[in-house]
A and B are shown apart, each in its own frame.
Chain A
């Protein structure tokens, strides 16, 4: 079983969600339901499974239900219908006390506007999860200091959050989430409030942390570039419905509908597509071209383009141990780079 399994979740906001559920199940759209009953459909039959150790990015426009979805995983929100399993445990079966224990042990969350405690210092913020677990002061300060070091904020531990810049505040948020050493990290638009430069800096930092820690990360964003950069898998939400799930390449190359196409239209594909996704088997059109370069399957098309265009010759794609997997010529490159 996957680390996180969400099965046919429905969430309807309003005074009497139960009465509207049948309508939604019968296929009424978010707009229709709002018009006819005044209820808001948050999620409409969403099913996702997330594997241990991967980064799953959930993407969609504002109001598409991303925040609602992620809050089902730690049950900050109860679904109107459906099931949520985390590490094989049905989250909806938990009693109130068990739920608190579950949240303490399994996961922590990073927020869009940071969600820091303004009356606590940086170190008190980072140690909060441990404080809730009633770990003694000395021990939790030690753990918190290690995390503060890890995100590069040593020296700021006695400052209050409002004395820090946005990027620094979110690093406190990240340190606080990591301090309890959870298996799962829930990040709700964690970098959306940051300036572009700081944001890409933080993305880099997250990728680096993740390469060491191998957490299961659920990351939410409304930005496609960010999801392509971070995600092992991407799920796209529209109006509470999950319209497509797949790897970054699958989303880019086979958008499921117009909504997804409109997202991927502006992306620099060369930067995202890996050699693995571009290559083909050797065929007749390759005859007469010599192999000019040997590329790793994880190299991006952007890195290979100068060679392809410069020599008009063939590139051989190999895996990590050097076995040939396929070939790329200018023809494959141009086919995948054209938008239609």
Chain B
């Protein structure tokens, strides 16, 4: 294949731009009187020409209609499945007596942190204070947590395999990276709206939004964690004849685990932030309380609910963080002596 010289591209672009100028002049209402004014009075170029407009909105809306008609059932099924999972999980925790919940949280933290008493006590106190702030918050916090946990579960199930695929294949990585950038940059409201249309109001679009918003860091950190594993260690595994699968599960994943746990931790924090935003589309939970305070201009209520979210964040953060640290310590035990 012969390479097209760059000057050809420049010529094409200059030609196109000149043509645009000519058309703009022809269609402009404020035509200058003389050639001199063409350059001194540029008002004929002030407004963006009306005819120069892609009908992107119309295309998307048309495409969207076809999409819903063709595939709406699939989303109904996903939404239904998620809703059942969500309701049942929530029911179990909400119906449990509150001391049992606190004890469960303490027990999970104790074992996941490798029996660190300090962390455990701290998490226990924070959990207690959520209900202590306002009895109404207890059930709402459980609702929020259930959404966050389900959201993270989806992130883990989908995100970690994607991260692994990226680490193993350059082409996959190059294809996925821009999508991750898009997911992180696009404003949340842009996908909250299609979310409502696909899944209705409530917890399910919130969980889907959590996935879109919180999954990229988990994917990135999984990919990074695997690629950061010492090259010599990988070579050692290869030199003993380890297959790709043995290498991945025996060496790369265990050594990437601290990074992956960091990703899950990030994911948790972002999920909590998203739950608050999602209250705008009628998702209940602690975010709902903040929104209520905002609407009634009730500063106390808003801050009280905000504090409850902070406490919940601390609890979830400590629990995931402590687990990551435990693995980290096993991989790089502190030197004796």
Contacts and interface: CB of A to CB of B under 8 A. Distances in A.
A160 B333 contact: yes
Contacts of A118: 233, 255, 331-332
Contacts of A115: 230, 232-233, 235-236
B239 interface: yes
B13 to A, nearest CB: 29
A163 interface: yes
A80 to B, nearest CB: 20
Given A109-B236, A112-B232, A132-B246, A117 B241 contact: no
Interface stretch (A99-107, A212-220, A249-257, A259-267): A99-107
Interface string B237-277: 11111110010001100110000000000000000000000
A111 B232 contact: yes
Interface in B278-337: 330-333, 335-336
Greatest chain B CB density within 10 A among A101, A111, A116 is at: A111
A135 interface: no
B1 to A, nearest CB: 15
A144 to B, nearest CB: 13
B336 A163 contact: yes
Given A104-B240, A132-B240, A132-B241, A117 B233 contact: yes
| Interface range, A side | 20 to 34
Contacts of A105: 241
A76 interface: yes
Contacts of B330: 119, 160
A21 B226 CA distance: 33
A108 interface: yes
Interface string A70-110: 01001010000000000000000000000111111101110
Nearest to B240: A129
A163 B236 contact: no
A119 B240 CA distance: 17
Contacts of B331: 118-119
A176 B236 CA distance: 10
B314 to A, nearest CB: 29
Contacts of A180: 240
A327 interface: no
Contacts of A111: 232, 235-236
Contacts of B235: 71, 76, 109, 111, 115
A162 interface: yes
Contacts, number: 74
Interface string A109-140: 10111111111000000001101110000000
A192 to B, nearest CB: 13
A163 B240 CA distance: 24
A186 interface: yes
B232 A119 contact: no
A107 B254 CA distance: 26
A119 B328 CA distance: 9
Given A111-B232, A118-B255, A186 B239 contact: yes
A119 B254 contact: yes
Interface in B205-241: 230, 232-233, 235-241
A132 B239 CA distance: 11
A154 to B, nearest CB: 18
B337 to A, nearest CB: 9
Given A162-B332, A162-B333, A76 B239 contact: yes
Contacts of A103: 238-241
A104 B236 contact: no
A100 B243 contact: yes
B272 to A, nearest CB: 31
Contacts of A74: 239
A180 B235 CA distance: 16
Given A100-B243, A101-B241, A103-B241, A162 B335 contact: yes
A112 B233 CA distance: 11
A176 to B, nearest CB: 8
Contacts of A163: 333, 335-336
B242 A108 contact: no
Contact of A104 (B232, B241, B254, B332): B241
Contact of A108 (B230, B239, B255): B239
Contacts of B239: 74, 76, 103, 107-109, 186
A127 to B, nearest CB: 11
Contact of B241 (A100, A113, A114, A176): A100
Given A117-B251, A119-B330, A163-B336, A132 B232 contact: no
In the A-B complex, the 10 residue pairs with the closest CB atoms: A104-B241, A103-B241, A115-B236, A109-B239, A115-B232, A129-B240, A100-B241, A119-B254, A119-B331, A160-B333
Given A109-B239, A112-B232, 18 more contacts: A99-B241, A103-B240, A103-B241, A104-B241, A111-B232, A115-B235, A117-B251, A117-B255, A118-B233, A119-B255, A128-B236, A128-B237, A128-B240, A129-B241, A132-B246, A133-B241, A162-B332, A180-B240
25 contacts: A76-B238, A76-B239, A100-B241, A100-B243, A102-B241, A103-B240, A111-B236, A113-B232, A115-B230, A115-B236, A116-B233, A116-B236, A117-B233, A117-B236, A117-B251, A117-B255, A118-B233, A118-B331, A128-B236, A128-B237, A160-B330, A160-B333, A162-B332, A163-B333, A176-B236
